[in-house]
Structure 1
């Protein structure tokens, strides 16, 4: 029961991490306008994401525009796109494998493949969390370097957006879910009773496969052979009596 509850906990943590990763991938709040120096106008705010660039006006108008060219984007943005999409795909595969490998499901119940499947799902969540963590850490480093760069005008400087923080939280959830799944699978494997090899019982011998030697011929004892005196009515001297044939 303990390993089953741990597997469910790890699965739901990984599922939450996958949901947060998808939300962080789609949201445009990766980089927001930094109000420093001469850039103190707060009537508009610019936000840049992986797929679009948005402008928010103080009047409540929210306008977004998708990036029209893929090759015209910076290399770091293209790499961030690829890593986040790969993280989402890895989370989907890890979720499917974990569902098949958990004890509470009917797939391959009683088979030895349940534990390896659950472990594989945990490793998949770990990989997804690492991919998301690499992407948000890379973006954070770029934003910080640009912010403190003396050669970049203050109007072009950006700060870390909410989507980056959501990516950090999602990666932590995915990593925790993967660790819990791997740990619960190892615990379930250690609690499994050892396999006792059954020795096949020896089959009983066939009923008629024993050949007994023939019984010896009956021989009367020497003391009882011809121990009577021959009678007078015997017709021959060979010991036969007449009354045996009458």
Structure 2
């Protein structure tokens, strides 16, 4: 019962992580224009994402433009594209694999060993998806903070952490929790056709004592009585 609840919880948490990874990949708010200086009124806000740039004017008009070339992006965003796509693929495939190993499904019914191995594989895929999310999000955040305090850059070139980065960190935490729930399982003792002998049973084994076989023995009183019985004569009664 407890394992069934943990499996459902792991799938639900992994599904939230998958949705968060998709949102992090698609949102353009990875880098946001930094409002530095004494100007209170800012007429334009710039967002930089993995796939496009967006400009918002006076909080009501926004225009987005897709990048013309991948080489136009900085190195951290180029790596983020591939890693985030890998995270989506690993998380989605891991959830599909986990469905085959759950107790409530009919796949591999009666084979607890195979179901446990399938769930362990799904947990490993969730961990890999978690790593693929944390690396680009943390790398991009490090570059933004480094450039923000770089005295050689002007204020117009400085950026702040966008909302997509925070969603990415939360997504990585959900994927990590899903992987932990999948991996925290007790290995079954039954491996299908293989026999497993428990040491406790071997130590507590007591052989039953065998009873000796009794053979009925009829002694012969005397040799003359044997001879009389052979001849057909009755032995005399004393």
Q: TM-score, normalised by structure 1?
A: 0.75
Deviation at 1:39, TM superposition (A): 6.2
Alpha carbon RMSD of aligned pairs, Å? 2.2
Mapped contact 1:38–1:155 kept (Cα < 8 A): no
Report the CA distance between 1:70 and its aligned residue: 1.5
CA shift in 2, pair 1:132/1:196, >3 Å: closer
Change (3 A) 1:89 1:147: same
Residue in 2 that maps onto 1:86: 86
Rounded to whole Å, the distance in 2 between the matches of 1:223 and 1:94 is 95
* Pair 1:22-2:36 in alignment: no
Distance in structure 2 (CA, Å) of the matches to 1:223 and 1:81: 114
Range that drifts further, 165-174 or 72-81: 72-81
Structure 2 residue 181 is matched with structure 1 residue 172: no
Counterpart residue number, 1:236: none
1:43 has 2:43 as partner? yes
Q: 1:38·1:154 contact (CA, 8 Å) conserved in 2?
A: no
Please say if residues 39 and 155 of structure 1, whose CA atoms lie closer than 8 Å, have aligned partners that are also in contact. no
Instruction: Give the conservation status (yes or no) of the 8 Å contact 1:35–1:41.
Output: no
- Tell me the residue number matched to 1:152: 153
- The alignment partner of 2:63 has SS state of strand
Deviations 1:155-194 (A, max 9, x none): 11110000000000100000001101111xx23x258799
SS of the counterpart of 1:46?
strand
Shift in alpha-carbon separation, 1:223–1:122, aligned structure 2, 3 A: closer
Count of residues paired in the alignment:
199
Question: Are residues 95 and 223 of structure 1, via their aligned partners in 2, closer, same or farther at CA, if it must alter by over 3 Å?
Answer: closer
Query: 1:38-74 CA distances to partner (integer Å, 9 max, x unpaired)?
Result: 6654111000000000001115111100001112322
Q: Report the equivalent of 2:97.
A: 97
In structure 2, the gaps of 5 or more residues are 198-228, 234-238
Change (3 A) 1:11 1:196: same
CA contact (8 A) 2:190 2:196 kept: no
Query: What is the TM-score of this pair, normalised by structure 2?
Result: 0.78
Larger Rg: 1
- SS of 1:45 mapped into structure 2: strand
Unpaired runs of 5+ in structure 1?
Answer: 198-219, 225-246
Larger mean CA deviation between 100-109 and 135-144 belongs to 100-109
Contact 1:102 1:118 in 2 (8 A): yes
